[in-house]
Amino acid sequence: MATMTTAPVGHETVAGTPARSRWTWLGVGAGVLGIVATMFTSPNVGTDHVGPGALAKLSRGQLQLGGALGYLAVAVLLVLAASWRSRAVPTGRGAVAARVVADGLTASAAALSLGYGWKLALALYLPGGLNENGFGTEGQFFYLMLNDFGPFIGYLGVVVAAGAVAWLSLRDHLVSRWLGLVSLIPPVAVAFMSCGLSIAGFPGMVGPIWLIVAFAGLSLGKHRILHTDVDA
């Protein structure tokens, strides 16, 4: 009687060699969108004695673009988290850490919904916006303060996910060692910046960059967790 074998869910094989997982490129896309939406469209009003007068220096179009791209980044993060949860969570060793990766991405998506929403709200209430008369100068300045670190703080969940990937690599040997070492950088850097210097927004500096590097590495490299370790 003929027997039939099946590959793990989400992994196709060609001539006995595991196919690359295309869904991992979502992480690269989320990182690129995050960099543009967070860093390149951040309100730049200087750092000394910022007050309501700084509102005149803002670009409403820039804020609107950043918020819209940020919302798209949130959507991509959610799809990435769901894909990771369904295709890259082992049932044995590494199961907890792998679930932390998905949970961290989801947590960031939730927090960033607020961060980028505040950016869109500021664009809405500035002169030229659809509701420019909704708030006075004080109210607009309040939204400016929310945008100071709002989108940056939201990437803390991504930093936690990076720490989980480091664990999957260095402890469980399910991810390549080089990627594990790279994934140690964001949590260590954020711990230093927050504990030593009280900088709340550093996750937004390292989180999107880690997404690009890590998920490009997952897409192109050999990793047991994705069944692409053809030499293992």
- Note the pTM of the prediction, 2 decimals: 0.86
Q: Judge contact between 202 and 193, C-beta under 8 A.
A: yes
17 bridge partner residues: 14
pLDDT of residue 77: 98
pLDDT digits (tens, 9 = 90+) for 118-137: 999 999 998 888 887 788 88
DSSP 230: T
Q: How far apart are CA 108 and CA 148, in angstroms?
A: 17
Low-confidence ranges of the chain (pLDDT < 50): 1-18, 231-232
* Cα separation, 24 vs 83, whole angstroms: 8
- Per-residue model confidence (pLDDT) at position 231: 45
pLDDT score for 55: 79
* Predicted local distance difference test score (pLDDT) of residue 18: 45
What pLDDT is attached to residue 45?
59
Largest Cα–Cα separation, the chain? 81
C-alpha–C-alpha distance, residues 102 and 142, integer Å: 33
Give me the pLDDT at residue 220, please: 92
- Determine the pLDDT at residue 34: 96
Domain limits, the chain: 23-42+58-226
At 47 the pLDDT is 60
In this predicted model, what pLDDT tens digit does every residue of 203-222 receive, in sequence order? 999 999 999 999 999 999 88
The rounded distance, in Å, linking the Cα atoms of 138 and 134 is 11
| 4: three-class secondary structure by DSSP | coil
User: Which pLDDT does position 148 carry in this prediction?
Assistant: 84
